[in-house]
Structure 1
Amino acid sequence: MRRVAQIHFVPAALVQGREVGTGVAVRVQAHQERAVLRRFAQPARVVAECSTVTVPGDDKTAVTPTDELVVLVHGLAAGPSWMRPLARFLERQGYRTHCWRYASLAGSLQVHAPRLRQVLRDCMARARRVHVVAHSMGSIVTRLALAGESWPELGRVVLLAPPNHGSPVARLLAPFAGRLCPAVAELSSHPASLVHRMNPPRGVEVGTIRARYDLLVPGSSTMLDGQQDHIGFHATHTSLLLQRSVARQVHAFLATGRFHRPAAD
């Protein structure tokens, strides 16, 4: 067991386990993300906002054999619970799901990627087709896990608010938070950061989703060379995970390789 510093960041759109209205979620979450920027703008405040917690190893939950399975990958300072609303929606559409747990605040992205690669291989031994849905930093971990190998059994990949070209906020925090969390520096929008040295995925159908009120990852950073489709929502960085309309579009891409757009009149 390892002990690392964890930044507490609770989804504002979850109130007593229920979803709140989209408009409320957007306003509350936007306020919360601005608060994060204020709190972490000063190096001295970083330690004050962190606490020491015990981090378990990778989630070893057995994956049930099925035709199609979706692996969901959470982002920085989050956990599987952030992905479960989306997972439950996909289960109602007939998919099996596996919310992968990893210690996002501990270690480099290049440490997490091989672990996810092994999870995907294990899932492919139990399912005819495996898809991936990833949020924020989880998108970059996913890209690293898929890089340099052929994945004939892989289905489609949906990246929600992916910092494909880095995050200006990560660049701001990197000089002093990078020692606590190496991934922060790797996600920086600085031209020399890891995200700018990655090749676009090859032979994989990828759809990207941006949040129009995202204060952490600009819309332009979500774009990816070779992406199959791209769509935006009136949401914040984290409220994307709680909106039913987003879940429907994730399902549409997994099923067809395209996001659904109503036909023009």
Structure 2
Amino acid sequence: MVGKLRLEFAHRPAQGMVETVPMAHRAVKRSESFLREVLMSHRCFVGIALAATVIFVATLLAEDESPKAADDPSPVATAPNIPTKTLGGREFWGDVAHFHGWRIQHNVLTKHYRLIDGDDVRHAWGTREQCQAKLDEIKRDRKLPKMSGEGVLLVHGITRSSKSMAAYRPPLEKAGFQVFPFDYPSTRVDLDAAADYLHQVIESLDGIERLHIVAHSMGGVVTRTYRAKHHDERLNRLVLVGSPQKGAELADLMRGKANLVFKTIFGPAGQQLVTDSNGFLKKLPTPDIEFAVIAGGHPPNGFNPLIPGDDDGIVSLESTRLSGAADFLFVESLHLALNRNDATHAATVRFLQSGRLRVDGEPQPIPREEK
């Protein structure tokens, strides 16, 4: 049984009100620190190289978000809900329904649900039915209209949250799209489970007539996994940004030489990102919708000496080139910085509108026969 720690609400909404918070995440963080120390103390070259790789990757992954330890793994309530500010769900939460900025989320550890608004304030917790009933009540009381129009789902990568995709929202909304930032517990579930969270959210988007997806890094693999299992006819176009469609060489390196570190930090989905010819990625079909690829790097040899060829520090350029893409665009950029790059945003909007990444010039499709 997971140990629990009683913590008072930071804002003290009422005398004596407390929340129980699982200590699992603290244990994970301690394990990560210990494992890094073990690797750094290893005197062989491979140990030092692997430690450097883990630290390099962790540095890149931490560059644009607050520590995940501050997330709110709130338990099932037995008393009326007190509106509580959360971080919106990063490590332990997966979205299952969206409505005009409101989200119902599922906790992967405690298995309960919560309802949060567009400012990440919790309005209900308990079963999914209880959260849905509260959302229905809010719809009636506030006379919220049905959703309609054209939507874009933003799917983040491993160890990230929807906050890492926030810079896409202004240009997409300016272009007339409704934007749905999607969260899932990327380091706690495998790719099939992550795809099931995405499926539930897509099913919840009643009234949206046409739907697109913009997916960064592992989010692109989650999207392909979803599409291999489900076929919502509204899904029209897909943009894959810095996504390791052929696997990640860093996953190969760390899984083979530092498997405990790799499992601890990146979870079950991370282990599925290997380039193994018989691995999970090799079995995924090419998306049956129109899609484009945007990749980062630094010619000619990339940012990371441990990755062969050009790379964005995390993913090789070659791995992003998924056969069958309608268009391809290279942006000189680090992996996470792709999400904050104006050229990436402009190309994404353009492709969703017209099927082309560039204003001028011919598209650069990736032939299906390319291996």
TM-score normalised to structure 1 length: 0.78
Distance 1:50 1:246 in 2: 26
Alignment of 1:226-241 (within 5 A): 226-241=324-339
Match of 1:58, SS state, is strand
Report if aligned partners of 2:92, 2:188 keep a CA contact under 8 Å in 1.
no
Rounded to whole Å, the distance in 2 between the matches of 1:171 and 1:85 is 31
Give the AA of the match of 1:243.
N
Aligned to 1:102: 184
Matches within 5 A, 1:16-165: 37=53, 39=55, 54=73, 55-59=91-95, 60-63=97-100, 65-123=147-205, 125-165=206-246
Q: Which residue of 1 aligns with 2:278?
A: 192
Identity %: 26
- Kindly indicate whether the alpha-carbon contact (under 8 Å) linking 2:99 and 2:147 is maintained by their aligned counterparts in 1: no
- AA aligned to 1:109 is L
Please give the secondary structure, in 2, of the residue aligned with 1:99: strand
Q: Deviations over 1:100-121 (max 9, x none)?
A: 1111110111111111012112
Q: Which residue among 209, 212, 228 is the counterpart of 2:297?
A: 212
Structure 2 unmatched ranges of 5 or more: 1-20, 31-49, 58-66, 74-90, 101-145, 299-311, 363-371
Residue 6 to residue 109, structure 1, CA distance change in 2 (3 Å):
farther
Q: For residue 183 of structure 1, what is the aligned residue in structure 2?
A: 269
The residue that corresponds to 2:106 in the other structure is: none
1:198-218 superposed Cα distances (whole Å, 9 cap, x missing partner):
11112x011111102302111
Match of residue 19 from structure 1: none
Kindly indicate whether the alpha-carbon contact (under 8 Å) linking 2:315 and 2:335 is maintained by their aligned counterparts in 1.
Answer: yes
Matched with 1:20 is none
The size of the alignment, in residue pairs, is 229
SS at 2:335 equivalent: coil
DSSP 3-state at the match of 2:291: strand
Give the match for residue 367 of structure 2. Answer: none
Question: Counterparts of 2:176 and 2:156 in 1: how far apart (Å)?
Answer: 21
Q: 1:87 & 1:147 partners in 2: Cα distance?
A: 27
**Partner of 1:262 in structure 2?**
360
Aligned residues: CA RMSD = 2.7
- 1:57-110 alpha-carbon deviations (Å, 9 max, x no partner): 323442461311100000011111101111222112111101011111101111
Does structure 1 conserve the Cα–Cα contact (< 8 Å) formed by 2:242 and 2:295?
yes
1:246 maps onto 2:344 in alignment? yes
Indicate the SS of the match to 1:179: helix
Give 3-state SS (helix, strand or coil) of 2:164's partner.
Answer: helix
CA contact (8 A) 2:98 2:201 kept: no
Change (3 A) 1:245 1:114: same
Distance 1:110 1:218, change over 3 A: same
- Gap runs ≥5 in structure 1: 8-33, 42-48
